[in-house]
Amino acid sequence: MKLNEMNRKGRSQMSTTNLTFKQLDETLEKNDIVLIDFFADWCGPCKTFAPVFEEASEKHQDIKFAKCNTEQEQQLAAAFGVRSIPTLAVFREKILLFLQPGALPKSALDELVTQVRGLDMDEVRKKEKDASEGKN
């Protein structure tokens, strides 16, 4: 057995975690980058995206990968305006950077993670501040 396989099989918990409305603030506070997969058990595209999301969580263990079951966490889904699933939300330093419905292919999710990691967050905060003050 390869070491990689042993590590995977020996883990005591999954790389992704379930997210509730009560856990949202703490999750964003404690993690630099957070990806949230809004899904439902009955959703075909959600089932297609789930292994892609799980694989990314194993590859990027420094990032928090959370799943929100929209049937059980309707308040959280409503807070994000989720109307179609799967929907992916991405935060960095508590700033929402991406919110889009649709099942991303592995390559697109990897590219999104790369882009989020590469962002100049000082510039993002400046643009966010300027936008809130009505500056261009």
C-beta separation of 110 from 56 below 8 A: yes
64-69 vs 33-39, strand pairing mode: parallel
Q: Which two tokens stand for residue 11?
A: 């883990």
Helices and strands (H, E) in the chain, number of each type: 6, 5
Which of 90, 98, 22, 16 shows the shortest CA–CA distance to 52?
16
**68 given a catalytic annotation:** no
**pLDDT score of 112 more than 80:** yes
C-beta separation of 82 from 21 below 8 A: no
> In angstroms, rounded to a whole number, what is the distance separating the alpha carbons of residues 23 and 31?
12
- Per-residue pLDDT tens for 51-108? 999 999 999 999 999 999 999 999 999 999 999 999 999 999 999 999 999 999 999 9
**pLDDT score of 109 more than 50:** yes
pTM summary value: 0.86
**pLDDT score of 16 more than 60:** yes
Q: Which among 43, 56, 85, 89 is annotated as catalytic?
A: 43
Could you tell me the residue ranges of all domains in the chain? 12-132
CATH code reported for the domain at 12-132: 3.40.30.10
**43 given a catalytic annotation:** yes
> In angstroms, rounded to a whole number, what is the distance separating the alpha carbons of residues 98 and 87?
10
C-beta separation of 121 from 128 below 8 A: no
Q: Which among 19, 46, 63, 112 is annotated as catalytic?
A: 46
